[in-house]
Amino acid sequence: MKGKILVTGGTGYIGSHTVVELQNAGYEVVIIDNLSNSDVNVLDGIEKISGKRPAFVEADCTDLDALRNLFEANKGIVGIINFAASKAVGESVAKPLLYYRNNLDTLINLLDLMPQYNVKGIVFSSSCTVYGEPDENPVTENAPIKKATSPYGNTKQISEEIITDFVTSGAPIKSILLRYFNPVGAHPTAEIGELPNGVPQNLIPYLTQTAMGIRKELSVFGDDYNTPDGSCIRDFINVVDLAKAHVIAMERMLEDKSEDKIEIFNLGTGIGLSVLGLINAFESATGVKVPHKIVGRRAGDIEKVWANPDKANNVLGWKAETSIEDTMRSAWNWQNRLRERGLM
């Protein structure tokens, strides 16, 4: 057994896939999650895939005492992967304090406790949102950080700065900041996936729910962008591929392979795909039609952004491997599983 890793937000979408990969790689996992945007049954899915049930603490990471109790009860945690955060762009505009408190207090609490409990490294779940509308694509890690267009995006920028300041102050920790592009899909076993609350705001859950007939049609937000087909372009990265990068990042810190105490990596495929292109990919991969119509632009959307993943490819030795077709099939299988379970 390798070291013990604390995964905050470990029953969530990206968190649960990462827990599976950590356990498959031989790590012992402790999850903390307040279940605000996930379900405790996700633990069953994780156990079915990996054969191991992670330790689970239902608590809020903004609660410093609860976190302290967790570290006391689970001695020997060597690393943290921090997924515990609110992530809905629109909601963050309506409830900024909720986002600042939740996302920043969580991080500050974790950092505060790391030296006290000899935790060596923290992987932070950041986003390509820090690049805003990039001046050029594909985007490297050296692209300028643009002023955030939402409180959610701002929490990612501020979090990166908080970690950097803390490490620069001489704190005895390391960190790897992973900037995700657009994570999509589900585990190929369809045991875990994304569980959106209410009407989905993100493209893929809305698309699969439309394909299932739960939603009448998918609105494509704008076809008058400066892109080949007029719809926005994103870098859709398979969630299992993404999860695997976290295991490599953790290993890198624990085995002292990092070149700096803080490292930043883009996690994307390097391929820009338009919203209409993605709908096509889904339809050809699954044979299922997605009724859709073009509507006006969504406020705050970026026109086009995709990653230059060379640094992650070359330095981490990680590469996004899953084809968009397999990813779309996994999203569709997961949607069908939700239907079987009577959840959708």
Instruction: List interacting residues with ligand UD1 (CB under 6 A).
Output: 87, 89, 127, 129, 150, 153, 182, 201-203, 206, 218-221, 232, 234, 275, 298, 301-302
Considering beta carbons, is residue 234 or 329 the nearer one to ligand UD1? Answer: 234
Closest separation in Å from C-beta 244 to ligand UD1: 18
Q: Which residue is nearest to ligand UD1 (CB)?
A: 232
Q: CA–CA separation, 165 vs 49, rounded Å?
A: 38
Considering beta carbons, is residue 52 or 221 the nearer one to ligand UD1? Answer: 221
Q: Locate tokens 């890198």: which residue? A: 252
Write out the two tokens for 92: 């963050």
Considering beta carbons, is residue 122 or 232 the nearer one to ligand UD1? Answer: 232
* Cα→Cα distances 3→22, 29, 110, 316, Å: 10, 9, 18, 20
- 146, with CB counted inside 10 A (0-12, 13-18, 19+), is middle
Write out the two tokens for 76: 């020997």
Closest separation in Å from C-beta 61 to ligand UD1: 19
Do 122 and 79 contact (CB within 8 A), yes or no?
A: yes
Do 104 and 161 contact (CB within 8 A), yes or no?
A: no
Q: CA–CA separation, 314 vs 262, rounded Å?
A: 17
Closest separation in Å from C-beta 62 to ligand UD1: 20
Considering beta carbons, is residue 140 or 202 the nearer one to ligand UD1? Answer: 202
Beta-carbon-side half-sphere exposure of residue 275 (alpha carbons within 13 Å): 27
Closest separation in Å from C-beta 153 to ligand UD1: 5
Closest separation in Å from C-beta 259 to ligand UD1: 27
β-strands 121-127, 77-82 pairing: parallel
Closest separation in Å from C-beta 266 to ligand UD1: 13
The amino acid present at 97, given as its one-letter code, is: L
Alpha-carbon dihedral 209, 212, 213, 216, rounded to 10 degrees: 40
Considering beta carbons, is residue 27 or 236 the nearer one to ligand UD1? Answer: 236
- 128, with CB counted inside 10 A (0-12, 13-18, 19+), is buried
Gyration radius from the chain CA atoms: 19
Closest separation in Å from C-beta 260 to ligand UD1: 25
206 assigned to active site: no
Q: Locate tokens 């076809």: which residue? A: 223
Task: Tell me which of 117, 152, 180, 225 is the catalytic residue.
Answer: 152
Write out the two tokens for 155: 């929490």
Considering beta carbons, is residue 14 or 163 the nearer one to ligand UD1? Answer: 14
Considering beta carbons, is residue 201 or 336 the nearer one to ligand UD1? Answer: 201
Q: Which residues are known to be catalytic?
A: 152
